[in-house]
Structure 1
C-alpha cells in the first residue's frame, strides 16, 4: 500500500528546501520530499544520507525526458547561461501536482524566498510560476508565506500561518540562524541544489549540444557530461578519462555513433556522434582517431603509426594514424563563446512563433 502524506515538497538538497519541508513538518503534517533528477541536477545517491541527517522522508523522481523537452525551447527563456530557471520551477511543480493523488497529498511545498534570486524569485515571477504550473490553490512557500497572500491551506486551518516565516531578500542570515540554532542541522547545505546549467564549464558542454543537435534527447546531455569533450563545428567527440567513463560511453553508444579504441596499447575509448552532417567522412574519422589516440601515453611514446578500431553500424574497421592533438579539424573543448548571440536568436525565434500563433 502506498504511504500517504499531507504534502509533497520540492527538495533539491539545498538549505531552503530543507528548511521549507521542516517548517511544515513541525506542524505535525507528514511531508515527502521529491528530489528531481536529470542530467543537469540531482544526487539520488545522497537521499539516504540526507534523510538521516535532516529528518525528512525523501524519494527520487526522474524528470529527464520532460525537462529536456522544455530545455530545447523554454517559454520564459534562459538565464545567464543555459538555465531556464522560471520554466524549470514550472515544470517541477506541474509534475509534483500530477503526483499528489498517488501519495494522497493535499498540497505542495517549495523553498522559494521572495526577492532572493533576480530571475526566478521576484514577486511577479513567483506569481507567474504559480499560475503557469496550475498550482495557485495548492502551493505553499513556507519561508516567505507571511510576506505573501494566505493560501487555501492556511485559510482552512490545515496549516497554521502564524508558525510560517516571512523571510525575504537575498541575504541568508535568517536561514542560517534556523539551521544552526533552531534545527541544529548536523550539516548545513549550500544555498542552491547544484544545477549544472548554471555553471560555466558544464553550460558550455550543453550549449554545444543545443546549438548543433537538431533534436537532442536527455541521453545526449548525459553524454555531454562525460569525460573530455571536443567539438569541431558540428562534429562531436567524447573521450573517456577512466574505466568508468569508458563503460558509460559503451552504454550510451547508438548504432550510428563511431566508437574508437586504440589497438595494442592501453587507451581510453572515444565516441563520435554525427549530428547535422550525417555520417562522417573517412577524413573526419581519421582525424578523430588521431586525437583520441593522443590520450594513450604508450601509443604516443611508440613514436609511430598506431591502429585504431572504429565501430560504426555494427561494422568494425581499423584506421592507422599518428596520435596527435594538432589535427586538421582543430578540435577544441566546448566553451560559451557565441552563447549570448545564440540566445538572442532563440528569443527572436520564440517571439516569431508566438506572433504567428496569435494570428492563427
Structure 2
C-alpha cells in the first residue's frame, strides 16, 4: 500500500532558503528530541517537522524548543489528511480508543518524504524505539510502517539503530552507525542517560499527547463521523472546545468559561447558529444542524430548544424564574427569541459517551 498525502506546511520565512541533510519527525517528546540530536551532533543539519492536527500537536511550543534545545523545527499541518484517513478506516486498525497509531506514522512519514527535495535533504529520522509501544513499535509494525510509507531506504531510527539492520545512510558512511543507540523495550534508562550526556536538563514528558488515545475526547469525535457528511478538521477543533451535546445528528457546543466562549466564537462558520443571552452573563453556544434540517420547520424548533438548553448553563438565567431573551445569530444576521432555561427539553440533548463511540468503532471494524 502506497500512501498519498496532501498537507499544509506553515513555515516561518527564515526556513525557506535553508538546506538540510535530514528531516526528523519531531513530536516534542524525549525520543524525537534525542533522535534529532544524535544525527545533528554528527555534523549533519536536521530540520524537525512538528505535525499538527486537531488530535495532536503543540505548535505554541516551537519557539521554546528552538531556544531550549537548539533545534530547527517547523509546524506541518496534516489535519485534513488525517481526518480523511480516519474516515475511510485505518488500514492497520485502531488501538484501545480511536488511535490509528500505525497508520498515523505512515501518514507522517509519507508526507515527510515529499518534503525532502524541498530542503535538499537525503533521509528521514524518527525517534521510534523497538518494543516501546505495543501497537506501533513492535518490530513487525515498524517494518509495515517503513514499507507502507515507501521509505525503506530513507528512514533511520537512531535510538534503535544497533538492533535494526543497517540503513543505506549508515552503509554509505553518511551516518556513523557506531555513534547510534541500541535502545529497545519500554524502559527509558538509555534515553535518560543520553539526555544527561547531551546536557539536556529539561526532559520532555513521555507520550505524544494524542487525544485519540483517550476515551473521553474520542467519545466527542465518534458522533462527527457518524452524523456529519464529509467532516473536516475544523469539525474536530469544535469538538475539542467546551461542553459537547448531540440530539440525533444535530450538534451543540456550549462554552464553560470566557476562554471557551472566545474559542467558540473564533470557530463559528457561516451556517452555524450562535446562541447568546441578550441581557445576562451566559456561555456562548454554537448550534451546528444537520444539513437536512436547515431551512425547514424543524430548524426553528431545534433553535428554540437549543437556546433553552444553553441558557440553563447561565446561573442568572436559571434564577430569573421565567423566560429570558436569547440572541440568535446566523450569517451575520441576529434575531431575538424568548425561552425558558431548561435541561429537560424535547430534543433531549446528551453528552456523547465512550460506550456509543465503542459501538461505532465495532461497526466499522473489518470483518475477519
Using structure 2 for the length normalisation, give the TM-score.
0.90
CA contact (8 A) 1:2 1:102 kept: no
Q: C-alpha root-mean-square deviation of aligned residues, in Å?
A: 1.7
Q: CA deviation at 1:319?
A: 2.3
- Does 2:147 match 1:131? yes
Distance 1:65 1:214 in 2: 14
CA deviation map 1:143-193 (0-9, x unaligned): 1111111100001000011111111111222212222x2123121111112
Q: Residues 84-123 of structure 1: matches in 2 within 5 Å?
A: 84-123=100-139
Q: How many Å separate the matches in 2 of 1:14 and 1:278?
A: 45
Residue equivalent to 2:57:
42
Partner of 1:281: 299
User: Residue in 1 aligned with 2:4?
Assistant: none
Q: SS of the counterpart of 1:169?
A: coil
- SS of the equivalent of 1:59 reads strand
Match of 2:308 in 1: 290
Q: Distance in 1 between matches of 2:63 and 2:201?
A: 15
Query: Structure 1: which 5+ runs fail to align?
Result: 353-360
Correspondence list, 1:205-216, <5 A: 205-216=220-231
The gaps in structure 2 that reach 5 residues or longer are 1-15
Using the TM superposition, give the Cα deviation of residue 63 of structure 1 relative to its aligned residue in structure 2, in angstroms.
1.3
State the distance in 2 between where 1:313 and 1:189 align. 44
Deviation at 1:295, TM superposition (A): 1.8
Match of 1:186 in 2: 201
Deviation per CA, 1:94-122: give whole Å up to 9, x if none.
11111111111100000001111111111
CA contact (8 A) 2:99 2:212 kept: yes
Answer whether contact 2:219 2:356 (CA < 8 A) is retained: no
- Looking at structure 1, the residues matched to 105 and 48 of structure 2 have their Cα atoms a distance apart, in angstroms, of 15
* SS at 1:338 equivalent: helix
**Range that drifts further, 169-178 or 244-253:** 244-253
Asked if the contact 1:234/1:276 (under 8 Å) is kept, the reply is no
| Aligned mates of 1:46, 1:164 — CA distance in 2 | 27
Residue 2 (structure 1) aligned to one of 8, 14, 17:
17
Q: Secondary structure at the match of 1:337?
A: helix
Q: CA deviation at 1:207?
A: 1.7
Deviation at 1:321?
Answer: 1.2
2:341 to 296, 318, 323: 323
Spell out the pairing of 1:215-294 with structure 2 (5 A cutoff). 215-275=230-290, 277-279=292-294, 280-294=298-312
TM superposition shift of 1:212: 1.9
**Alignment partner of 1:81 is 2:97:** yes
Name the CA shift for 1:54/1:314 in 2 (closer, same or farther; >3 Å). closer
Matched residues, number:
349
SS of the aligned residue for 2:270 comes to coil
Distance across 2 between alignment mates of 1:224 and 1:81: 16
Higher mean displacement: 123-132 or 317-326:
317-326
Deviation at 1:314, TM superposition (A): 5.0
Report the equivalent of 2:350. Answer: 332
- C-alpha distance in structure 2 between counterparts of 1:164 and 1:297, whole Å: 60
Residue 162 of structure 2 is aligned to residue 146 of structure 1: yes
Query: TM-score, normalised on structure 1?
Result: 0.92
Whole-Å Cα distance in 2 between the matches of residues 333 and 182 of structure 1? 49
